Structure 1
């Protein structure tokens, strides 16, 4: 079954943004206009998103279909690496590591990663006792 998504070029998105600017600055009625008059398959939500991103759309080349930074986000491989290293440290210290601990530690690392905005903080001497592990090996801090 083919995809139902109809990609729109940046030129079409620019035309929508220009029509909104010219006709009152309200994005929702433009979806009705572009559906009925021009035959676009576009939803009101898409038009509102394009209107919100209008400065980036105007700056983008006309032949592109996506904005820079749009699309799927990369997986958080750094958190996976940190958890793997912590499991190895705990197992080398003869600690038992359970799946519940791994899940909880991953959630803590994720919330911590959001708080510190993924900055590198290498060289910490904190033990991983606060992370749920009782071994004396310092954790690898998320950057």
Structure 2
């Protein structure tokens, strides 16, 4: 059975990057032998990947384990920001914001945000389903 993936904090990745830059001579694979003596169980490929992403890792926060930007992009993209603004404006006017209203506005924004050429080249069905609304509400 293969070993499970072990997540590593950015502070430890930062420590390895600093060692590679100073004592490792900029060669990430040299770090495997050095840190294996310190009981780190990380492959040379892991060090190479950290070295490749070093700018993002050095800019990241220390207690996190993953970098920002992973995962699927929202279907609506920038139209989600418009939808959030519509919701805030409606709430400021003390009007109810229901899940059905959010779904209707999302469908309308999706239709208006795409041109006919985009729709013909990359047809995407967007239904604003109940799970999508739940995830949207958690994101915003």
| TM-score, reference length from structure 2 | 0.51
Structure 1 residue 7, shift from structure 2 partner: 1.4
Structure 1 residue 35, shift from structure 2 partner: 1.1
Q: Partner of 1:26 in structure 2?
A: 27
Between structure 1 and structure 2, the one with the greater Rg is 1
Q: CA–CA distance in 2 between the matches of 1:74 and 1:57?
A: 21
Q: Partner of 2:49 in structure 1?
A: 49
Structure 1 residue 121, shift from structure 2 partner: 5.5
Aligned: 1:123 with 2:121: no
Aligned to 1:57, the other structure's residue is in SS state helix
- Which of 102, 122, 126 aligns to 1:142? It is 122
Task: Tell whether the 8 Å contact from 1:31 to 1:43 is kept in structure 2 after alignment.
Answer: yes
Q: Deviations over 1:1-47 (max 9, x none)?
A: 9x7222110000000000001111111011111111x2111000000
Count of aligned positions: 84
Task: Tell whether the 8 Å contact from 1:121 to 1:142 is kept in structure 2 after alignment.
Answer: no
| TM-score, reference length from structure 1 | 0.50
Gaps of 5+ in 1: 79-119, 125-138
Gaps of 5+ in 2: 77-112, 124-140
